[in-house]
Chain A
Amino acid sequence: MNKPISGFSRRDALKLAGAAGIAGTLVVYPGRRSFASSTKEYTLNVETGRIAVDGVSSNAILMGGSVPAPTMRWREGDEVVVYATNRLDVPTSIHWHGLLIEGVMDGAPGFNGFVAIQPGETYTYRFKLRQAGTYWYHSHSAMQEQQGMYGAIVIEPSGREPVRADRDYVVVLSDHTQEDPKRVLSNLKADAGYYNYGKRTLIDFFRDASRDGFNIALKDRLDWGEMRMDPTDLADVTGYTFLVNGRGPQDNWTALFKPGERVRLRFINASAMSFFDVRIPGLPMTVFSADGQNVQPVRVDEFRFGVGETYDVIVLPRDDKAFTIFAEPIDRSGYARATLAPREGMEAAIPEQRPRTILSMADMGMAHGGMDHGSMTGMDHGSMAGGAMSGGAMAGMDHSKMGGAPMAGMDHGAMGHGGAAAEGGERRPFGWADASTPPGAKALDYADLKASTPNPDGREPNHEIEVRLTGIMERYMWNLNGRPFGKDEPIRVAYGDRVRLKFVNTTMMAHPMHLHGMFVELENGQTDRKPRKHVVVVPPGKTVSAVLTANEPGDWPFHCHLIYHMEAGMMTRFIVEPKSA
């Protein structure tokens, strides 16, 4: 900890593993150099074990002896060799999330010729690092990621760091459950609302009726009931404990600083299912990297964090006091908490949790005409809102408007949607994007992300691929273009093609769409400096587009990063044909 730049490294990983009471052995040898000076060699054992979260012990799958797995600290240009040994009794895999990598090394079973690592076998990953930034690694098999198989990757640039920092910490957010993920999926298949304890009740109805009038409240219930849709469906799974670097809210993972220092926090959302709203009360954050790729610095008070995304921020705590890093899942079913403090043992107040939002008819995306649920009578206000909000290339941007502006919730209310408008009394959040950001505070918006360097390929896309995000919530079926993985039609593009991916979300949930092997450039209004992303969050009912240059030949997974959605079939193949001779 006294070496600022490498503040959270092997020592902390060891400490974490020790503190969590893990009996397994940590077998990572960062820096062991057996080949050329730039080759780093590691052994990662995958095995079952026990972890302790807030003093409660549970089963986990450990990679390298701990949850999260040890942070990999590499340097751009390094050749990395990882010997991954499977000590489970089922197949496993390790996927390097966000790395530009040869297909077979990407580690997704069934793609690019990679075969899952069988019990007792060792697979040798070998790749050269072509990039710098914050990434992560996780299992790509049988929902093992939910059981603890995830860890951070930090790659130093071969040149200069984009920002100077006195301290450098990895902040891995995740959601931990005591339940077997197979059981979770099975419960969802039997009853999609199984984990939802925020449904609308009779008591809510009377409250709404007394505020908005009986007829409006009733009509609202009937509108949703007619479609058999639930406006409280924000997170499919609850019962989670939310972790920071493997530690629960009571454990309170703590990062130290000296007042006046510049502290770099590398946020990674390694959750299986949870979107977070992240803030550090009293400490604005300057975002300078998204998904490992540098962006022009933008100062924010909070950001909404999709599953699989990463954000690097700088904070400048000047006072000799503690700050709470606070990450609330969007269904507000708990929180992840950690502390930035000048000394061990200090803590700051834990903020009150914000209210849980309720989905609006605009989140249905009525304007797309893609909904095949029931009749649309009584929904005109919905289509109005959807139309106003999702047209055109600026689609990905509305969530900033809502996040930042105090009037956000009221715009929708004004559209005449019954029941949830803020009328007198406390303001109630309304719509997926409404994070209850207080007036005057700034929430990061996708539109704020501007690449620090111009996009290298200025060509207009020569074709557009529409990817419809589809599903039937009631049956917990999730897929792309209406076809589950296995019955899907792969997407095929020629090498060098400039392609637009147009994501049309026809569902009521947000989907963090992840493409392996290549970055996409998010069309967020930054014409020649579109941010490069490996995960694109597509809010419910919205259309978001991204362009890419297909310059990594292979047969790449392309999927929703919500693990139970992917497992249910929300995945396809993105095939980039080999370079022709």
Chain B
Amino acid sequence: MKSMIARYNSRQELAFLAGFLPAVFLFGPAQSAEPGQLFTFFQAEQFEYRANDGHDSLNWDAQGWIGNDDHKAWLKTEGEKPTDGRLEKGEIQLLYSRRISDFFDAQAGVRYDIEPGPERGFGVFALQGLAPYWFEIDASAFVSNEGEVSARFEAEYDLLITQKLILQPTTEVNFAVQSVRERGIGSGINDVELGLRLRYEIERKFAPYIGISWERKIGETADIAQDEGEDIDTLSFVTGIRFSF
């Protein structure tokens, strides 16, 4: 993984600049009593070990930002590395995020997939925020450098059992307009992922959790997976830590 990061270093730099520079230029005048005050946030929503019948893996899903109320530079990353193999999935997004309503941000920027190959860069447009009834929503559309169009919808909800014991259902759905067989992607709905995680917030910024994650490939994507002898249906037990700083 280390060598891979080194290999794509210059690309990541480019991606970083592409995402960050517009944000810097678009920063508005100071919003508060402290001129130019910037805030930062980083959170690994998922940082976990997935136990799945001999196909165990380490997974992460994290976000961070720097900025003010109206303008932010936003980083999103997620990925999966089997315990006994190379990185299987790994993506990083760098976005400029702008407040467009009380509860939502519009985001635009770039995404780069380290894996699965062959390597791809994407343009990203997203809406992220809080929907009525306290659902955290992230809806993204992607256009690859080959012109392929895809989309992803994520939602999560925090159900407080007590002040510190929190049950979090999550869902993720991926769509693609064109199939990209070498990446294992069919057209239409690709897959659905449902998760249920129970965390205990020892502190707000540190919460161990356990849970389950169920992933189902659908349609053409499922056919491709079956052709390659892969499972289309995966149920994993997860153990992890949600942390932020």
Binding site for B on A (CB under 8 A): 142, 185-187, 189-191, 194, 197-203, 222, 225-228, 372-374, 472, 474-475, 477, 484-487, 566-569, 571
Q: Which 9 pairs across A and B sit closest by C-beta, in order of nearness? A: A225-B133, A190-B41, A201-B160, A569-B32, A189-B39, A197-B163, A486-B30, A226-B132, A484-B31
Q: A374 CB to closest chain B CB, in angstroms?
A: 6
The B interface, classified by DSSP as helix, strand, loop or mixed, is loop
A563 to B159, CA, bound (A): 31
Does chain A have a CB within 8 A of B35? yes
Given contacts A185-B39, A187-B204, A226-B132, 19 further A-B contacts (CB under 8 A): A186-B39, A189-B69, A190-B39, A190-B43, A198-B163, A200-B160, A201-B163, A228-B103, A228-B130, A372-B102, A472-B103, A475-B69, A484-B32, A485-B32, A485-B33, A486-B33, A487-B29, A487-B31, A569-B31
In the complex, what residues of A have CB within 8 A of residue B39's CB? 185-186, 189-190
> Which residues of chain B from 122 to 141 have a CB within 8 Å of any chain A CB?
130, 132-134
- Complex contact B133–A222 (CB within 8 A): yes
Q: B28 CB to closest chain A CB, in angstroms?
A: 8
Does chain A have a CB within 8 A of B40? yes
A579 to B132, CA, bound (A): 52
Does chain A have a CB within 8 A of B171? no
Does chain A have a CB within 8 A of B34? yes
A190 to B43, CA, bound (A): 10
A200 to B158, CA, bound (A): 12
Tell me the total A-B contact number using a CB cutoff of 8 A.
78
Contact of A486 among B29, B102, B133, B134 (CB under 8 A): B29
Q: A486 CB to closest chain B CB, in angstroms?
A: 5
Does chain A have a CB within 8 A of B76? no
Q: Can you name 20 A-B residue pairings with CB atoms under 8 Å?
A: A189-B41, A190-B244, A197-B164, A200-B160, A201-B160, A201-B162, A201-B163, A203-B162, A222-B133, A225-B133, A226-B132, A372-B102, A373-B102, A472-B103, A477-B69, A484-B31, A486-B29, A486-B35, A487-B29, A568-B31
Task: Select from chain A the residue with minimum beta-carbon distance to B244.
Answer: A190
In the complex, what residues of B have CB within 8 A of residue A185's CB? 39
Q: Knowing A474-B103, A475-B99, say if A225 contacts B30 (CB, 8 Å).
A: no
Does chain A have a CB within 8 A of B161? yes
Contact of A475 among B41, B102, B132 (CB under 8 A): B102
> Contact mask B183-225 → A, CB, 8 Å, 1/0?
0000000000000000000001000000000000000000000
- Complex contact B204–A191 (CB within 8 A): yes
Binding site for A on B (CB under 8 A): 28-35, 39-41, 43, 69, 99, 102-103, 130, 132-134, 159-164, 204, 244
A569 to B132, CA, bound (A): 26
Task: Select from chain A the residue with minimum beta-carbon distance to B31.
Answer: A484
Q: A229 CB to closest chain B CB, in angstroms?
A: 10
Task: Select from chain A the residue with minimum beta-carbon distance to B68.
Answer: A189
Q: Knowing A486-B32, A566-B33, say if A225 contacts B132 (CB, 8 Å).
A: yes
Most chain B CB atoms below 10 A, which of A142, A228, A472, A485: A228
Q: A256 CB to closest chain B CB, in angstroms?
A: 41
- Complex contact A569–B33 (CB within 8 A): yes
In the complex, what residues of B have CB within 8 A of residue A485's CB? 32-33
A309 to B41, CA, bound (A): 35
- Complex contact B134–A228 (CB within 8 A): yes
In the complex, what residues of B have CB within 8 A of residue A190's CB? 39, 41, 43, 244
In the complex, what residues of A have CB within 8 A of residue B40's CB? 186
Most chain A CB atoms below 10 A, which of B29, B130, B160, B161: B160
A189 to B30, CA, bound (A): 15
In the complex, what residues of B have CB within 8 A of residue A142's CB? 34
A199 to B41, CA, bound (A): 23
Task: Select from chain B the residue with minimum beta-carbon distance to A230.
Answer: B134
Q: A115 CB to closest chain B CB, in angstroms?
A: 14
A225 to B130, CA, bound (A): 11
- Complex contact A199–B69 (CB within 8 A): no
- Complex contact A194–B204 (CB within 8 A): yes
Task: Select from chain A the residue with minimum beta-carbon distance to B70.
Answer: A477
Q: A212 CB to closest chain B CB, in angstroms?
A: 19
In the complex, what residues of B have CB within 8 A of residue A372's CB? 102
Task: Select from chain A the residue with minimum beta-carbon distance to B159.
Answer: A202
Contact of A474 among B28, B41, B102, B204 (CB under 8 A): B102
A203 to B132, CA, bound (A): 22
Contact of A201 among B29, B133, B161 (CB under 8 A): B161
Task: Select from chain B the residue with minimum beta-carbon distance to A195.
Answer: B204
- Complex contact B130–A374 (CB within 8 A): no
In the complex, what residues of B have CB within 8 A of residue A187's CB? 204
Q: A376 CB to closest chain B CB, in angstroms?
A: 12
Q: Knowing A475-B102, A486-B32, A486-B35, say if A374 contacts B132 (CB, 8 Å).
A: yes
In the complex, what residues of A have CB within 8 A of residue B34's CB? 142, 567
Q: A240 CB to closest chain B CB, in angstroms?
A: 16
Q: B94 CB to closest chain A CB, in angstroms?
A: 19
A195 to B43, CA, bound (A): 17
A373 to B133, CA, bound (A): 12
In the complex, what residues of B have CB within 8 A of residue A189's CB? 39, 41, 69
Q: A63 CB to closest chain B CB, in angstroms?
A: 20
In the complex, what residues of A have CB within 8 A of residue B133's CB? 222, 225-226, 228
Q: A513 CB to closest chain B CB, in angstroms?
A: 16
Q: B192 CB to closest chain A CB, in angstroms?
A: 25
In the complex, what residues of A have CB within 8 A of residue B162's CB? 201, 203
